[in-house]
Chain A
Amino acid sequence: MPEDKNRFSPKIAAFCCFHSAYLAADSAGAMRKSYSDGVYIIRVPCAGKVEGLHILQAFEKGADGVLILACPQESCHYISGNIRAKKRVDYILRFLEEIGIEPERLKLFNLASNQAPRFVQVVNEMAERIKDLGPSPIKAGVIGR
């Protein structure tokens, strides 16, 4: 039985670079711009710190979606962290495909610290996408038995 779309509240782990997205999230707060409360921010010094393994672990622990939010292209605080993050996300997407997890559940976005509205848009769109997809198939498998 698919869950009712409106009742399903997706859990999203958002790895946020402390030099960009984390600060954007803070200013979204200062601007009182509301977004889905299922988004949990995990602070990282750089998107390049997020390992593929951490992304898989998030799914394994029950994330319905994972966001990697990195500095804008060409303007990574640590020069190449956002590029490394993108490549790892691409690698893990292939893994997700092999496991049978929809690729829409893992997204990387580049945004700057002053882009609070974009942060809100990105996380809300992600939450909507995940609502359409329903709960993670990893959880569904367990519930099914």
Chain B
Amino acid sequence: MIIGERKSLEEIRKMIGGYKKVLVAGCGTCVTVCFAGGEKEVATLSSALRMAAKKEGHGLEISETTIERQCDMEFIEELREKVGQVEAVLSMGCGAGVQTIAETFSEIPVYPALNTKFIGRTEEQGVWTERCAACGDCILHVTGGICPIARCSKSLLNGPCGGSKDGKCEINPDVACAWQLIYDRLKALGQLDKLEEIIPIKDWSLSRDGGPRKLIREDVRL
């Protein structure tokens, strides 16, 4: 899922400083699961914003709503009535959510309350770690199901760099060396021979280097 983290109250307040009526919109999917922008975070942030404004004597009226998914237009439509009653929208969705709202309601400014961090998994309750860099050209089949693009600090393709020490990455002893993990796993699988294959230079045009990406499925299109 997509992992997000709330921006500081100060940063958010700067964005919406001039408005008196704001809609705080949560998203019921990824950011709910990672405790960044679900219904509870919407209520909590709204309460904090109201208090911060009240403390300084500003009037701030907040309406709160959380929809199923901010990255789908049909759900975004549910916001239309509420958006009509405010001066700005503060989205607690990921970057895709914020932009879907902006694209749907051209007349109203939309601000992000979260920093969208990465595609990751729940390692344990309250701990999320990055697993996928959305590079557009998956090689997990040759690396034992462990991604060197997302998990090696240098995104190396053919083994570790000299900074791998005791299975840890030189950038931080809490970060596992992805290539150590790959080696250990392939060894356990009895597939160490896979490491003898040279992974060719990566085609980064499939990733961000190729510009904004788009996916079309004609069979699914109506």
Contact = CB atoms under 8 A, between A and B. Distances in A.
Interface string A124-145: 0000000000000110111011
Tell me whether chain A's interface is mostly helix, strand or loop, or mixed: helix
A98 B40 contact: no
A60 B60 CA distance: 13
Interface residues of A, number: 19
Interface residues of B, number: 15
Interface string B11-55: 000000000000000000000000000001001100110111011
Contacts of A99: 9, 48, 51-52, 55
B51 A56 contact: yes
Interface string A95-122: 1001111000000000000000000000
Contact of B47 (A60, A100, A140): A60
Given A53-B40, A98-B10, A60 B52 contact: no
B8 interface: yes
Given A60-B47, A60-B50, A100 B55 contact: yes
Contacts of B212: none
Interface of B: 8-10, 40, 43-44, 47-48, 50-52, 54-57
